[in-house]
Amino acid sequence: MPELNTSSLPDLIFSILFFFMIVTSMREVELKVEFKTPQGTELEKLERKSLVSNIYIGKPTREFRAKLGTQSRIQLNDKFADVSHIREYIQDERASLAERDKPYMKVSIKADKDTQMGIITDVKMELRHAWALSIVYSATSR
Amino acid sequence: MAKGKRKVPGLNGSSMADISFIMLIFFLVTTSMDTDSGLHVRLPNPPEENVEQDPPKVKQRNTMVVTVNMYNQIMAKVGNSEAKEVGLNELRQLTKDFVANRDNDPKLPELHPVELPAPFGVQNITKNHVISFVTDRATSYDLYFQIENELYGAYNELRDELARKTFGYGYKECNEDQQLAVRQYYKCMISEAEPKNYGNQ
């Protein structure tokens, strides 16, 4: 039986490996706020990531601290934002979904444990006005 | 010294494929583990502007009010009982007792006979109960989350217990019709008031 030449197999596998390494290290957004999500027990997994829009709330990272201080800030996409920008953001996110997926849109609030409720409540109020009523408080399991 | 071609000994690369395979599998596994999870909540519809709405009349025994102040102290007023300060770990049991009202306690919500899907039929449930959760603007998000976690946890535990009693297995193992029936038995009624601003801003 003739032997199969497998000398190119490592190269092949390597290229798949590199593909995965590159793809996985790609985040959708560069985080400009630091957050440590709270821990809970009644969590459910988020399926279908394409339906989820993220709102990050936390302290600005070190490089922005000089300019913005350590007060909690909201980040939408890759920019700092104000509460008043949320409605527009939700509309954009909703517009990017397919028509049949629109009712299943979810908003994940990734907020730092030490945030005060004021900012969260403002965000929630804006989400209600934008009719994004299905929300998830992102957390890690305890 | 030999001129011209010099023979370089070949490197044995046959194990390279195995090494890369292991790394490939490692990356595949670690990336699929990175799923987001959290507490799923449904917000109420936006408040209608320009419309003065009277708050819906709810009997005192049907309400449970959980209040958190800016010092992160929790106060609970369950039904007709006096308001008292409670710890986070007591909250789940309080909520369960309030929602279920198994002994028809006059201080806890009224039981109404309600027609439920099979296999429950007509059952006495606390269909008008409301859990109201009031926070301050200076309350920490962590505590808010922990309380939400306990409140939803209470409902989840009640549903799980009911499913185990009726079907013999947990709520998660039930099919969709069974889950719907169980959900109607213990309907989640958590309402969040607009936060008060007593504290600093």
| CATH at residue A53 | 3.30.420.270
Total structural domains within chain A: 1
Higher per-residue confidence, B63 vs B36? B63
Mean pLDDT of B19-38: 76
| Residue A15, domain member (yes or no) | no
Query: In this structure, is residue A122 part of a structural domain?
Result: yes
pLDDT (0 to 100) of residue B80: 83
Q: Is the CB of A24 less than 8 angstroms away from the CB of B146? A: no
Q: Is residue A22 part of a domain?
A: no
Residues A73-107 have pLDDT tens digits of 898 888 888 888 899 999 998 998 888 888 889 99
Other Cβ atoms within 10 Å of B92 Cβ, number = 20
A52: containing domain: 29-141
A17–B27: do the CB atoms touch at under 8 Å?
Answer: yes
- In one-letter notation, the amino acid at residue A94 is R
pLDDT(B42) > 80: yes
- What residue ranges define each of the domains in chain B, with the CATH number in brackets? 60-192 (3.30.420.270)
Tell me the count of A-B CB pairs closer than 8 A: 141
Q: How confident is residue B145, by pLDDT bands cut at 50, 70 and 90?
A: very high
Q: How far apart are CA B149 and CA A44, in angstroms?
A: 12
SS3 B61: helix
Q: Has residue A117 been placed in a domain?
A: yes
- For residue B184, how many other CB atoms are within 10 A of its CB? 16
Chain A residue at shortest CA distance from B152: A42
pLDDT at B75 over 50: yes
The burial of A131, by beta-carbon neighbours within 10 Å (0-12 exposed, 13-18 middle, 19 or more buried), is given as middle
Q: Does B22 touch chain A (CB under 8 A)?
A: no
Residues forming beta bridges with residue B134, ordered by sequence position: B67
The per-residue DSSP string of chain A comes to -PPP--TTHHHHHHHHHHHHHHHHH--SS---EE----EESS-EE---GGGEEEEEEEEEPHHHHHHH-SS-EEEETTEEE-GGGHHHHHHHHHHTS-GGGGGG-EEEEEE-TT-BHHHHHHHHHHHHHTT--EEEEE-EE-
Q: Is residue A94, in this structure, part of any structural domain at all?
A: yes
Strand partners, B190: B131
User: Lowest mean pLDDT: which of A119-123, A134-138, B118-122, B135-139?
Assistant: B118-122
Please indicate, yes or no, if residue A20 is contained in any of the structural domains.
no
Task: Report whether pLDDT(B201) > 50.
Answer: no
Q: Are B56 and A53 in contact (CB under 8 A)?
A: no
B39, B47, B138 ranked by CB distance to A43: nearest:
B39
In the predicted structure, residue B2 carries a pLDDT above the cut 60: no
Chain-centre distance for alpha carbon B177: 21
Under 8 Å between Cβ of A96 and A139: no
Domain-embedded: residue A17: no
- Give the mutation candidate from B36, B66, B133 for the A interface (greatest A CB count, under 10 A): B36
Structure tokens at B47: 């408040």
CB B137 to CB A118 under 8 A? Answer: yes
**Domain membership flag for residue A9:** no
C-beta separation of B47 from A131 below 8 A: no
